[in-house]
Amino acid sequence: MDIKEYINGRVEHFYWSEDVNCAIATLRILGEVMGIELSAQVIDAATGMHGAGKFGAQCGLVEGSLMFLGILGRQEGLPEEEISESCYKLAFGFERHFGSLMCRDLRPQGFGDDQPPHLCEELTKQAVLFAVEFINDRYNIDL
């Protein structure tokens, strides 16, 4: 199975079987792909990171990826400046690729009761693949 198929399957699982938000799904998939176990506290910290608790602020797909870059960077012993630079470059690339870092732009329908669940499923698949490819390119990790 290739990485895109793996990501697609895991997004579907996390959304439809575990009903987690986009930040948690992103963190967990990146952890699986990179072989990094995430603590329960990290997952707990991402509980309200889907647009700042549905407020529409920074997208949880970005936040989960940025959190993971910090975890990966520390594990690899990278200096803080390099981790921050990686976060900047990921955010810059994400905005260029997807058009915004803001949930309200990426999900303009909001989170109303009349919206179907997991409206961002396809975007999540694309964003997690984007993050995996970014990490692979940045850190020369052979996946």
**pTM of the predicted protein model:** 0.91
Q: Where are the domains of the chain?
A: 20-41+51-139
Neighbours of 105 (CB within 10 A): 13
73-124 pLDDT per residue, tens: 999 999 999 999 999 999 999 999 999 999 888 887 766 677 766 778 999 9
| Sole residue written with tokens 């690899």 | 76
- The tens digit of pLDDT for each residue in 7-40 reads 999 999 999 999 999 999 999 999 999 999 999 9
